[in-house]
Amino acid sequence: MVSFDTIRSAADAQVDVGIRIYALAARLFPICRSITGGGVRETLRVLGQHIDITQHEVPTGTQVLDWTVPQEWNIRDAYIKNASGRKIVDFADHNLHVLGYSKAVHETMPLSELKSHVYTLPEQPDLIPYRTSYYSEQWGFCMAHNELAQLEDGEYEVFIDADKTDGHLTYGEYFHSGQSDRDVLLSAHICHPSLANDNCSGLALLACLAAALRSRKTRYNYRFLFAPGTIGALTWLASNEDNISRIDHGLIVSCVGDGGGPNYKRSRRGNAVIDQAMQYVLSSEGRRGIIQDFSPYGYDERQYCSPGFNLPVGLFQRSAFGTFPQYHTSADNLDFISPENLASSYGMIMEVIDILEMNWTPVNLFPKGEPQLGRRGLYSALGGDKAAGETAMGYLWVLNLADGSHSLLDIAQRSGMSFRDIARAAQLLRANGLLAEAVS
């Protein structure tokens, strides 16, 4: 019987991990990140205080598949001042105020001209939008629509102290070595500034997950990737084409700090083990997870799942991107995420890892009829014991479906029993010489 103290210690550990993830997300939140630049390096420095991250620098102009690594962007200051010299927009107040990758500007202009360079959300008039111009030469600001509407005609000074120069694209990796030569890829995009759910939550969760795996012996290698969206994933793929055949499972992690969902988007393959494991976890314990088929729009799963790679990589989120009103606005702040939701997301991903680690495909070595379990000590001597009955059902389901074509996860799904009970039954049957592992 599980004691109250055991239950309480497990609950305390769940609360503790949520607090740690939230605290790390809060440290990352103020940093102004983009697809390149000092903000990315500063973010990796902070993450590197928790895990041993290898930082990669890829020079501007490097060809990566059909793309080219862009110039590096860095920003130091930006503001809009009215005729009296008061700052009505200040980059120091919120780094969403500047159009991402904006070119430098220092001019004075009338309000009518300024408005053509200001982005707002009329339908959410009190929020600052997040906008970028990665691959076009523009300058601009973002502000609350109500604040723009209150501006009086007159001259305004606009100043953006930023530059685009030949430099590098930066991404980070953490590698946890397992006992095999097969890999699990866990990836989070690092390019969004001051958006707590999208994606300080994913970065912080994966860093804490990687730290937890350090003390664990695993079958798989776990490769954690912290890279800018799209161009970062493409750069990593171009640099690792010789090794990606080792990836058996993969997961993109984003928007994991709010209370929505959970949501999972399948890999392009649609029936990969990661797809099955995520569906199993999101449907257990009354979670009522939402499972979506693959589409070529979203985060970096669309790069990993492009037809030339077709990797088994899915996308895990709480609220799906673009579906919650805080998405890509200043409302995606630290009040929008919580330690409880971060801990819950962490727990679900860890459950998936447990399944990947314990899953295998058994073969019944006595397939004609049922083998005698009693003389092997696999049946309880006490009749009527409910727990013994459930254990016996685990034996019977495993033995019946252990034909070399059903994994333990398949058997758990077919039987309706928990994966852990099926895995334990298979372990005992194997220890007693009744099962072997199918040859792949």
Give all domains of the chain, ordered by start, each with its CATH number.
13-69+168-358 (3.40.630.10), 73-165 (3.50.30.90), 362-437 (1.10.10.10)
Q: Is 50 annotated as a binding residue?
A: no
Q: Say if residues 262 and 319 touch (Cβ distance below 8 Å).
A: no
Which whole-number Å values give the CA distances from 62 to 112, 231, 306, in the listed order?
40, 11, 21
- Whose CA is closest to 59, among 165, 191, 140? 165
Q: Is 332 annotated as a binding residue?
A: no
**Helices and strands (H, E) in the chain, number of each type:** 12, 18
pLDDT at 195 (0 to 100): 98
What the block records as the tokens of 391 is 């254990």
What the block records as the tokens of 245 is 């055949």
Which whole-number Å values give the CA distances from 194 to 4, 96, 128, 190, 394, in the listed order?
41, 7, 11, 11, 48
pLDDT at 378 (0 to 100): 85
Q: Per-block average pLDDT, block size 10, for the chain (440 residues)? A: 45 80 98 98 98 98 98 98 97 97 98 97 98 94 98 97 98 98 98 96 98 96 98 98 96 98 97 97 91 96 97 98 97 98 97 97 95 83 54 92 96 94 94 92
> Which residues contact residue 353 at a Cβ distance below 8 angstroms, ignoring those fewer than 6 apart?
184, 213, 222
Phi/psi of residue 395, nearest 5 degrees = -60, -45
Q: Say if residues 395 and 429 touch (Cβ distance below 8 Å).
A: yes
Phi/psi of residue 42, nearest 5 degrees = -65, -40
pLDDT at 3 (0 to 100): 46
pLDDT at 376 (0 to 100): 86
Q: How far apart are CA 370 and CA 364, in angstroms?
A: 10
> Which residues contact residue 207 at a Cβ distance below 8 angstroms, ignoring those fewer than 6 apart?
24, 47, 50, 51, 174, 224
N- to C-terminal Cα separation, the chain: 38
Q: Is 176 annotated as a binding residue?
A: no
Q: How far apart are CA 49 and CA 127, in angstroms?
A: 33
Show the beta-strand stretches assigned E in 82-167. 87-90, 105-110, 118-119, 141-142, 155-165
Pseudo-torsion of CA 337, 338, 342, 343, nearest 10°? -170
Q: How far apart are CA 175 and CA 187, in angstroms?
A: 12
